[in-house]
Structure formats: C-alpha cells, structure tokens
Structure 1
Amino acid sequence: MRPLAILLLCLAPLAAHAQTDPVPRMQQIVANYTNDKSFMGSVLVVKDGHTLIDQGYGSADLEWNIPNSPATKFRLGSITKQFTAASILLLQERGKLSIDDPVSKYMPDAPAAWSKITIYNVLTHTSGIPSFTGFPDYRTTEWKDTTPAELVARFRDKPLDFEPGTKFNYSNSGYVLLGYLIEKVSGQAYADFLQQNIFTPLGMQDTGIDSNAAILPQRAQGYRRSPRGIEHDGYISMTIPFSAGALYSTTGDLLKWEQGLFGGKVLKPESLAKMTTSFKDGYGCGLFIRDIDGHKLITHGGGIEGFNTSLNYYPNDKLIVIVLGNLTGGAPDMIATNLGKAALGQQVILPSERKAIDVSPAILAEYAGTYRMTDAPIDNVIAIKDGHLTTKLASQPALDLFAESETKFFLKVVDAQIEFFRDPATHAINRLILYQNGMQHEGRKQ
C-alpha cells in the first residue's frame, strides 16, 4: 500500500548479458540482491508454459532459520487491488452494478462531494478521493482493528483532491471503498466473495485475507533493513489494508491467478479488456499497462510492512514473472524487471560494468539545477558535490552520479541513468531523461 517513487533507493542492481539459455544469468540477477542482503523471498518465472525459475531465497523466519521456498506465504500489499477490481467486474457481469454508475447509487449516504464519482473512477484512481494512508495520523492508527465502514468514515468527509475523472492519483481509500461496495452489493464479506468466486474456482488453496491472529502455516515474517541490521518491520492490523492490500499468497497460487485471469477463467473477454485498458497514466482497473522496450507489460506491485511484491505478465511473450519479498525495499521490482529482460533475451548491464570518466567542472556546472519531472509533480535536483554530480528526487536522499560520457551519467546504488540535453536553439541545458526499469522519465530544467 505504500506509494512508489520513480527512483527506488534501496536497490542493489544486477544485470547480465543475454545468452541463449537465460536461466544462469537470471539466477545471477537474483543472487546479486541476496548477496548484498537486499532481498529475501520467492521467485517464479514461467515462459511459454515452461518454468525457468521456481525457488526461494533467504529466510522466511530468521529467528528459526527457516528458508523461503515456493510454498512460503507472503503478504501481497497492493497486488490485492487487481482481485478487488476483478470482483467489481464480476458483479457487473451478473447485473448487480454498473461501473459507470455513481458510487452514491449503492451508497445512499455518500457525501455530496462524491455525486459525480463513478465506480470506474474509483477503479482507475481518478475519483479524487484522498488516500487515507497519506493522512498525518495514519501511522498512529495502523495497529487498531477496524471495520470497513470505519475505514470509509476516515476519508468520506475529506475534500476531493480534484474533479473526478480529470487526473490520476493513486488512492488506497478508493480500493477500500470498492471492498465496502462489494460487501454491500453482494451481501457477502469481502473475504467470502473472493473465496467463492476466485480462489476456489482457480484452485488457489494458499491465498486468502491475512489475519494477525490466525495460525497460518508457512507464513513468512516481514523484515526491514536498519543501521542495526535486519530487524522485524512494524505492526499493522490487517483490517486496515482490507481490499486495498490485505491478501497473502504464494508464487504458485499467483501463477494460477495469472493463468486463470488471462486465460478467460475469471472474466468475460469484454470485462478483461476493460480491466487491462489504460484510462489515465497507464492504469486500467487494478493494473498498470505499460510498454517496456517494445514489450507489452501488465503489472502491479505491492508494499506493506515487511513485504514488497511484484507481479508481471507479458501477454505477447507469454511470460510471467512473480517476485515476492519479505524484506522491505524496492528489490522485488528491480529483480522482476531484470528477470523479464533476461527471459526476453535482452541485455542488462551492471552498473559495475559501466566505466566512469572525468568531465570538466564547467560542463558539470551547466547541468546543476532543478528539473521538474513531467510525469509526476516532483523535482529532481542536480547538484555538484566534491567535484561530481548528485541527484535528489523529491524528498529522497541525494545520490552520486558518475559520468560515462559528457552527457550521460549512471548511479551505482541503483540501476538507473540520467542523460542531459541542450536546447537546439540556445544550446543551453534544458532537460534531462531518467532511464530506469525500461522506462524514460523526462525532467524540464526550471
């Protein structure tokens, strides 16, 4: 449920040169993260129906020295959202609701400010409802068991962030609201609806709504890195993430989900098409739809105390990459990205393979300044420190940049590069491009 930043700081990147058999290089990719203690978890990669990797790494429980395995259960965080979205679309197929209806049709006591918000707006994060996980009191209320109605009460009377349908803004409140609506419309508890309509039909026996009190065999403990080393991450009542992030599962069960969802076993073709069609900013219904180096990718990640996860489907390549981690940080996303590249025969270059060169102080001075990122309302501040450049994205720490050419720089702590460009007319530096995860993010110099 934690928001994602463009530049992930806790990653120790790995890559490899493509080869005919990608598996050895893929194992090396994962090993780089396990060796520097930035990843523990389970990985499953399947291409054309053939399993390339199906393995656990590190510990499910450090105190008992129990290793992770393909059977280990992990909290999923926001991967939950696609299950919620599919449930809403199932209810539409059964005539119980329409995603084009206003939320107020199924919630008569909805605030007046919500009158123009449709269910589709909520599905696509375009409702304008502020995310309660960003409220100042959120961290002090994570521990308390809470009902769906009490969760909705936390944000129902807050002003909207924008006019519904006009912008994209990731909102955990919206997906909590969808779970609340599922219960009201279906007459079932959210957990029961998922069990009856998705988990049981697909044979997903190791998936469910997590509970702090339940005895759950083969459940991973959630950890974080700190100056003291690896330690248990904080406590959260699993009633809080609810339909926005409360599921647990295994890599094997998520494979069943991907094969079932995209194999037509869950939704009708028109519903699946709606779910996987971008509305704004590359988001459909519970899923991001992206183009990565010419390959279509349908994806979502998750982050919740002690866990980060990444679920990825390349439909045209028949490739599924699942990375579930029980150590807080961005490693699962980076592992998944690089495993996808390796499986597709693409080259992945290690930052350690890049050779740093010297660039004159006068040229570095031209690059220094503030760049407003065009795909997010945040600044990337480029500064000079001890004769080299640093990059600082929003509130994140400043990171060192190393020149590999006069205009292109790379980071060592993260697999990302920044390239500077001049205005053709004035020859002044006017923009940069951040390259990461197969995507490009432009920043305009202020």
Structure 2
Amino acid sequence: MEDELDEVARAAGFSGVVRVEQDGQVFEKAYGLAHRGYGIANTVDTRFAIASGCKGFTALAVVSLIEDGTLSFGTKVRDLLGDDLPLIDDRVTVGHLLAHRSGIGDYFDEEVITDINAYVLPVPVQNLLDIEQYVPILDGYPQKFPPGTAFAYNNGGYVVLALIAERASGVGYHDLVRHRVCEPAGLADTEFLRSDSLGERTAVGYLPIDGEWRTNVFHLPIRGGGDGGIYTTAADVSTFWRAFFDGRIVSRRWVAEMVRPHSEVPEESLRYGLGFWLHGSTSQVQLVGWDAGVSFKTVHEPDSGITRTVLGNTSDGVWPVARFLSGIRP
C-alpha cells in the first residue's frame, strides 16, 4: 500500500499527512513541506487548518448548549439576532441552521465561487478576528427558500450559529469550542490559530498564483469562525472520532441524532446530518474541508472502527489521496 500511496501522492503533488487507523493499529506518513520558504518538512504531528471540517466542531458546541438548556433545536435565531441580519427569515431556527435547511443567503456561496484560489473576502482579513466582526459581511443576502423546505450547504449559516451561540451563552465562540469540544475530547493539538502567528509544528497554506506558490494569508480570515478555520493534527482527528462516538462531547442520544440523515444530497451521493456528511448508503461519517491553501477529508466507519484522514496545505492535493485510501482495507 505504501508504494502505491507514494506514487499517488507524488502524482498529485500532495503536501500533508495521511493516517489510517483501526483497533489501535496506525499507519501514518507525511509528505511535502509545512513551510516552503524555509524548507521545513511536514511531519506526522504537524498541525493543519481543516476549513469546513470545523463545522462538526461548531455543531457540537451548539448541541452542547441545547443539552444544557441554553438553546433549543427550535430556538428562533431572530430572538438572538435582534435587528441584525434583517434578511434572515424570522422562522429560521437553530435546527434549520445545523442541518443546512435554513434557506438563508450565503456570504460564501460555493455554487457561485468557481475558483477558490482567486476568491478574496469583501473586507480585509485582519478585520475578521472575532465572530461579531462577521455581521456586516453576512448581511445583504436575501432568503433563497422558506426555512425547512430544502437542503442547501451554507457557510454563512454556520457563522450565524457561532454568533447566536456566543450571544446565548455569553462565552466567545472560540472559547466555547475549546471548553465544550476540544477539552472533553482530549484534543491537545486542536485550536483556532491566527494566520499571522501560527507557531511551531503548523503548516502554512499555499496556493498557485502567477506560476508560483504563495501563502493564503490574504485569502482567509485571520482567525477561523463558525464555518471553518480550526487547526488540528491527524492524531487529534482520530481522538475526536473516538470521543464523539463514545459520547464524551455530547450524549450518545445526540450523537445518534447528529449522524442521522436529515437530508439526501444525491448530486454528491451523500446525505447530511447535523454538522456531518454521511455516506449515501453506509454508516460512514465524514468531515470535509476545502479552501484556498487548505484541503481536508476524514472518514470514520463506526461499524468497523476504521478512520481514514488526509490533511493538506494546498487547495487540491488531498482529493486523489483520499480517493486512493477509500479502497484500502487495513
């Protein structure tokens, strides 16, 4: 397997880490450079941004607030938004947002954005450090369909979730995720980092611009939000899956609800739960992230206990490697 994997990684120009685990047996390997300017290689314990993989963390933080009564599945988001974001339908609930069934307009609409490497945010990235600072860029997008009537993957909806979680709890979103997800799960290497202060063992994201590799520092918020941007390691991802299904983050009853199909997504051959992608016909649960200089996919099979994780610090390198791993049985 390793020889074939090496060839797939070479052909894809893959830079990142691969980890396959089952019953305590682990295969892991690092490829490429964490920092191209200084020639620092990726290692198996390098931290990577995971883009939308963060939505699972946001969903868990919100569900933990539902469990303790701070929020409910049926809480109307208008009750916490007040006069902010007036184009959001007053009937939209926390449950609609978790399941991507809110129908609200999306500030980062992936059906419209065709070139992730060319996209830039409408405000300077250094202005997006805290969740309340997102409010102006979330505004101005009309409702697309009545809440609850359809599925539409929505980045803005998860920023709104982070916003109302903050307002309901009185605790900042980043601290909520740390205290309610990372700490109970035992994720020692998972946190929201500033892109201008990444620290050691952390991969810089790269994208091709004008024939050269450049960092993604001007393309993403300086600190991640509800829709993406947390950093983690391959080992922490495996730890996350174990903690999640063991009921150490939220109760097993809510775990079952979060991985129950709430929508069919036939165009992707997938289904969607609450914060998690689901295979179209098996028990596989997935988190996937894609952004400028970031690609990530982790697939966990509860029935077999197999976890396959690929983290990368380029926009596209992960996908050929993840496809290869999908056919490997440990």
Same fold, TM-score > 0.5, yes or no: yes
Query: Does 1:32 find its partner at 2:7?
Result: yes
Q: What are the Cα deviations for residues 180-222 of structure 1, in whole angstroms up to 9, with x where unaligned?
A: 1111111111111122222222221211112123251111111
Q: CA deviation at 1:118?
A: 1.0
Structure 1 CA distance, aligned partners of 2:220 and 2:214? 19
How many residue pairs get matched?
A: 315
Query: Does 1:206 find its partner at 2:192?
Result: no
Q: CA deviation at 1:37?
A: 4.8
Query: Does 1:108 find its partner at 2:82?
Result: yes
Asked which structure has the greater RCO (Cα within 8 Å, sep 6+), the reply is 2
Residue 196 of structure 1 corresponds to which residue in structure 2? 179
Residue 141 of structure 1 corresponds to which residue in structure 2? 123
Q: CA deviation at 1:314?
A: 1.1
Return the letter of the residue paired with 1:38.
Answer: G
Output the aligned Cα RMSD.
2.2
5+ residue gaps, structure 2, are: 114-118, 266-270
Structure 2 CA distance, aligned partners of 1:334 and 1:296? 22
Identity across matched positions, percent: 24
Q: What are the Cα deviations for residues 235-284 of structure 1, in whole angstroms up to 9, with x where unaligned?
A: 23535741111201111111111110012111112211111112112111
Residue 98 of structure 1 corresponds to which residue in structure 2? 72
TM-score scaled to structure 2, two decimals? 0.88
Structure 2 CA distance, aligned partners of 1:305 and 1:192? 25
Query: Does 1:285 find its partner at 2:285?
Result: no
Spell out structure 1 runs of 4+ moving beyond 4 A: 135-138
Residue 220 of structure 1 corresponds to which residue in structure 2? 203
Q: What are the Cα deviations for residues 27-67 of structure 1, in whole angstroms up to 9, with x where unaligned?
A: 2343123322521101111023321x112111111222211
Alignment map for 1:28-427 (pairs within 5 Å) = 28-51=3-26, 53-110=27-84, 111=86, 113-134=88-109, 139-141=121-123, 143-146=125-128, 147-225=130-208, 228-233=211-216, 235-239=218-222, 241-280=224-263, 281=265, 282-291=271-280, 295-329=282-316, 331-343=317-329
Structure 2 CA distance, aligned partners of 1:227 and 1:239? 23
Distance 1:139 1:191, change over 3 A: closer
DSSP-derived class of the 1:88 partner: helix
Q: CA deviation at 1:341?
A: 1.7
Return the letter of the residue paired with 1:321.
Answer: R
Structure 1 CA distance, aligned partners of 2:92 and 2:215? 40
Q: CA deviation at 1:115?
A: 1.0
Q: What are the Cα deviations for residues 363-418 of structure 1, in whole angstroms up to 9, with x where unaligned?
A: xxxxxxxxxxxxxxxxxxxxxxxxxxxxxxxxxxxxxxxxxxxxxxxxxxxxxxxx
Distance 1:140 1:184, change over 3 A: closer
DSSP-derived class of the 2:20 partner: strand
DSSP-derived class of the 2:161 partner: helix
Residue 353 of structure 1 corresponds to which residue in structure 2? none
Q: Is the 8 A contact 1:142 1:236 kept in 2?
A: no
Q: Is the 8 A contact 1:103 1:118 kept in 2?
A: yes
Q: What are the Cα deviations for residues 88-109 of structure 1, in whole angstroms up to 9, with x where unaligned?
A: 1100110111012211233333
Return the letter of the residue paired with 1:35.
Answer: R
Q: CA deviation at 1:226?
A: 5.5
Structure 2 CA distance, aligned partners of 1:36 and 1:334? 9
Moved more, 83-92 or 264-273: 264-273
Structure 2 CA distance, aligned partners of 1:154 and 1:186? 23
Structure 2 CA distance, aligned partners of 1:158 and 1:233? 26
TM-score scaled to structure 1, two decimals? 0.66
DSSP-derived class of the 1:242 partner: coil
Structure 1 CA distance, aligned partners of 2:46 and 2:124? 25
Structure 2 CA distance, aligned partners of 1:34 and 1:338? 10
Structure 2 CA distance, aligned partners of 1:158 and 1:112? 7
Q: Is the 8 A contact 1:148 1:180 kept in 2?
A: yes
Structure 2 CA distance, aligned partners of 1:240 and 1:204? 19
Return the letter of the residue paired with 1:125.
Answer: H
Q: Is the 8 A contact 2:298 2:308 kept in 1?
A: yes
DSSP-derived class of the 2:29 partner: strand
Distance 1:64 1:117, change over 3 A: same
Structure 1 CA distance, aligned partners of 2:7 and 2:194? 33
Residue 268 of structure 2 corresponds to which residue in structure 1? none
Q: CA deviation at 1:132?
A: 0.6
Q: What are the Cα deviations for residues 281-317 of structure 1, in whole angstroms up to 9, with x where unaligned?
A: 21111111113xx642111211122110111111112
Structure 1 CA distance, aligned partners of 2:272 and 2:142? 23
